[in-house]
């Protein structure tokens, strides 16, 4: 993955083919990014997707215009077949049916076919939804083959890579594991030591297990219990990581410190800052302790490395043609904040997407429950308790969340739902319990389905399920009198409530 402005003369390797991806610009705009024209001298196959198609057309005669309307959503693509003499231009859709469902998202369109290009596919709204050069292995498609809403999109990408570029599909998880373990061993050396924070989430656990496989106890995992993790989380994470996965783990119970600093704070961003800064402080102190102890072990050297669970989407975010994006998540920046330790970063997951991290986790023997866990935010339950975070509020939110998640699991819905939790609202409501009138707290349940967490839809539970969860929470969690279900999509809502 390189920025589109990459100078072809400075390519670090000779590619077998090039995919020009989509992007938010219009090729005819003054500030639009363009590829180095030398790309078209490279003599390798090119596939342009969306903006990439338009860039391809722009280079071949500037035939791109703003469309009358933005096309966004499902469309039916009709694939054109050519005569035998022109069969080579049909290779992109080899083995595919004449019609397929695709996902479109564009405002601009081709006004006219570039010279020496043929249409290879169309939709009712886009006569040039697919084009191919008659003389060179250049292809362009207006739809997005890379999204799940284009069910046969993988086949299109595979046809390009294997049929057209002649690349061999020899990447397997087993080979990745072996190569990565070897790479870590060489990088860290025979005595080098690595430290890294774990949270109980998928990414940090998989990264930690990979380090443990590579260098054993010279990897030091640290779990900071911030007092706002899920019910019983610190204990269960410790059990899984140490007993099941054999990871060298130190757990620091800093609950009192975190909750003390959160006292009286209701502003969501202030809560995030306090938790983030306190985490760095606690982790840093612990890192120094571990480094001191490590310095006394004759068979190992100093701690020189910091493990980070960076995934490929974070890397993509930083490969913008404008330079590294400013929006990389702050928790991925702890390295620079470990003052005085001058740690180098080690990022074994940086070439993987989330589904590949899960496959890697399974390959490394991490329990399925953990591999398929819903994401949990760094600031934890603190941003699910709207208003002030007190130990009593933490108890209520945790107990309600546990019941909700247990019921989701019992109903076999856990994997279908992308993220679910209980939040505690900062209001009180009236109810009758027994014969008494009570004035107590309100729990809001949230469950969403999403692919990328950028947009999300609330999960349509059946009424009996909600009834069961509500009854259990009101009966079993002291201090709760009502349960609500959040039916807001993202956007306009966010997944978390703060």
Q: Residues marked as binding for ATP?
A: 199-205
Residue corresponding to tokens 């490394």: 364
Rounded to a whole number of angstroms, the minimum distance from the CB of residue 361 to ligand XMP is: 18
- Beta carbon nearer to ligand XMP, 350 or 472: 350
Distances from the Cα of 342 to the Cαs of 95, 335, 345, 457, in angstroms? Answer: 54, 8, 10, 43
Candidates 311, 377, 385, 469: give the one binding ligand XMP (CB under 6 A): 377
Q: Is the CB of residue 222 less than 8 Å from the CB of residue 196?
A: yes
Binding segment (CB under 6 A) for ligand XMP, from list 18-26, 153-161, 227-235, 374-382: 374-382
Indicate if 50 belongs to the active site.
yes
Rounded to a whole number of angstroms, the minimum distance from the CB of residue 455 to ligand XMP is: 9
- Beta carbon nearer to ligand XMP, 36 or 281: 281
- Measure the CA–CA gap between 112 and 114, rounded to whole angstroms: 6
- Beta carbon nearer to ligand XMP, 333 or 494: 494
- Beta carbon nearer to ligand XMP, 20 or 422: 422
377: Cβ contacts below 8 Å, ≥ 6 apart: 383, 496
Task: Count the site residues for ligand XMP by CB under 6 A.
Answer: 12
Distances from the Cα of 147 to the Cαs of 167, 176, 281, 319, in angstroms? Answer: 22, 24, 40, 20
Q: Residues within the annotated binding site?
A: 199-205
Candidates 23, 114, 348, 378: give the one binding ligand XMP (CB under 6 A): 378
Candidates 357, 366, 447, 495: give the one binding ligand XMP (CB under 6 A): 495
Rounded to a whole number of angstroms, the minimum distance from the CB of residue 376 to ligand XMP is: 7
Binding segment (CB under 6 A) for ligand XMP, from list 36-44, 113-121, 307-315, 377-385: 377-385
If one asks whether residue 486 binds ligand XMP (CB under 6 A), the answer comes out as: no
- Measure the CA–CA gap between 264 and 3, rounded to whole angstroms: 46
Q: Write down the catalytic residue from 34, 80, 88, 146.
A: 146
Candidates 260, 375, 391, 426: give the one binding ligand XMP (CB under 6 A): 375
- Measure the CA–CA gap between 362 and 177, rounded to whole angstroms: 12
Q: Which of residues 248-307 bind ligand XMP (CB under 6 A)?
A: 272
The phi-psi region of residue 232 (left if phi > 0; otherwise alpha if psi is between -120 and 50; otherwise beta) is left
Q: Is the CB of residue 79 less than 8 Å from the CB of residue 98?
A: yes
Using DSSP, state whether 303 is helix, strand or coil. Answer: strand
CA angle 312, 318, 322 (to 5 degrees): 145
Strands 193-197 and 138-141: unpaired
Rounded to a whole number of angstroms, the minimum distance from the CB of residue 343 to ligand XMP is: 21
Candidates 321, 453, 465, 485: give the one binding ligand XMP (CB under 6 A): 453
Candidates 118, 331, 332, 354: give the one binding ligand XMP (CB under 6 A): 331
Binding segment (CB under 6 A) for ligand XMP, from list 33-41, 98-106, 278-286, 371-379: 371-379
Question: Using CA of residue 466, residue 472, residue 477, residue 479, what is the dihedral sign?
Answer: positive
Indicate if 144 belongs to the active site.
yes
- Beta carbon nearer to ligand XMP, 395 or 490: 490
- Measure the CA–CA gap between 213 and 439, rounded to whole angstroms: 54
**Cα within 13 Å of Cα(108), Cβ side:** 24
Give me 240's structure tokens: 């899984």
Q: Write down the catalytic residue from 144, 165, 233, 304.
A: 144
468: Cβ contacts below 8 Å, ≥ 6 apart: 407
Candidates 419, 444, 445, 473: give the one binding ligand XMP (CB under 6 A): 419
If one asks whether residue 332 binds ligand XMP (CB under 6 A), the answer comes out as: no
Rounded to a whole number of angstroms, the minimum distance from the CB of residue 89 to ligand XMP is: 42
Indicate if 82 belongs to the active site.
no
341: Cβ contacts below 8 Å, ≥ 6 apart: 284, 287, 288, 291, 303, 306
- Measure the CA–CA gap between 106 and 14, rounded to whole angstroms: 31
Rounded to a whole number of angstroms, the minimum distance from the CB of residue 445 to ligand XMP is: 15
- Beta carbon nearer to ligand XMP, 101 or 449: 449
Q: Cis link prior to 9 (omega < 30° from 0)?
A: no
Binding segment (CB under 6 A) for ligand XMP, from list 221-229, 319-327, 393-401, 488-496: 488-496
Binding segment (CB under 6 A) for ligand XMP, from list 81-89, 306-314, 393-401, 490-498: 490-498
Rounded to a whole number of angstroms, the minimum distance from the CB of residue 305 to ligand XMP is: 22
Distances from the Cα of 423 to the Cαs of 58, 227, 420, in angstroms? Answer: 51, 16, 10
Residues tagged active-site: 50, 144, 146
Binding residues (CB under 6 A) for ligand XMP: these are 272, 331, 375, 377-379, 419, 453, 490, 494-496
């Amino acid at each position: 993955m390189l920025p589109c402005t990459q100078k072809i003369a400075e390519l670090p390797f000779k590619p077998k083919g090039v995919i020009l991806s989509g992007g938010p610009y219009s090729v005819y705009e003054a500030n639009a990014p363009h590829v180095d024209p030398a790309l078209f001298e490279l003599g390798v196959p090119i596939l342009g997707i969306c903006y990439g198609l338009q860039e391809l057309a722009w280079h071949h005669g500037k035939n791109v215009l703003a469309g009358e309307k933005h096309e966004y959503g499902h469309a039916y693509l009709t694939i054109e077949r050519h005569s035998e003499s022109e069969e080579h231009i049909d290779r992109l859709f080899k083995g595919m049916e004449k019609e397929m469902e695709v996902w479109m998202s564009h405002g601009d369109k081709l006004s006219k076919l570039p010279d020496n290009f043929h249409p290879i596919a169309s939709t009712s709204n886009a006569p040039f939804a697919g084009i191919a050069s008659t003389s060179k292995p250049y292809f362009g498609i207006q739809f997005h083959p890379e999204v799940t809403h284009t069910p046969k999109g993988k086949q299109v990408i595979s046809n390009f890579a294997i049929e057209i570029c002649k690349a061999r599909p020899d990447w397997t998880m087993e080979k990745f594991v072996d190569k990565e373990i070897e790479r870590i061993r060489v990088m860290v050396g025979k005595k080098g030591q690595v430290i890294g924070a774990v949270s109980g989430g998928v990414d940090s656990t998989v990264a930690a297990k990979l380090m443990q496989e590579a260098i054993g106890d010279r990897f030091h995992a640290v779990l900071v219990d911030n007092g706002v993790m899920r019910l019983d989380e610190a204990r269960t994470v410790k059990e899984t990581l140490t007993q099941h996965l054999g990871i060298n783990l130190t757990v620091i119970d800093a609950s009192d410190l975190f909750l003390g600093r959160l006292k009286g704070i209701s502003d969501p961003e202030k809560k995030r800052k306090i938790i983030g800064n306190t985490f760095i402080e606690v982790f840093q102190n612990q890192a120094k302790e571990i480094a001191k102890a490590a310095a006394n072990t004759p068979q190992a050297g100093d701690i020189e490395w910091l493990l980070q669970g960076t995934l490929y989407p974070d890397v993509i975010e930083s490969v913008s043609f404008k330079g590294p994006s400013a929006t990389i998540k702050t928790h991925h920046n702890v390295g620079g904040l470990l003052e005085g330790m001058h740690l180098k970063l080690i990022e074994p997951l940086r070439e993987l997407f989330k589904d590949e991290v899960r496959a890697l986790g399974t390959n490394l023997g991490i329990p399925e429950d953990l591999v398929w866990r819903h994401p949990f935010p760094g600031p934890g339950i603190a941003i699910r308790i709207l208003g002030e975070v007190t130990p009593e509020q933490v108890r209520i939110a945790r107990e309600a969340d546990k019941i909700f998640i247990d019921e989701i699991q019992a109903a076999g819905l856990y994997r279908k739902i992308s993220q679910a939790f209980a939040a505690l609202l900062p209001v009180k409501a009236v109810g009758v319990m027994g014969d008494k009138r009570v004035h107590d707290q309100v729990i809001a349940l949230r469950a969403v389905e999403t692919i990328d967490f950028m947009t999300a839809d609330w999960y349509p539970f059946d009424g009996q399920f909600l009834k069961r969860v509500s009854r259990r929470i009101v009966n079993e969690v002291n201090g709760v009198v009502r349960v609500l279900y959040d039916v807001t999509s993202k956007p306009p809502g966010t997944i978390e409530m703060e």
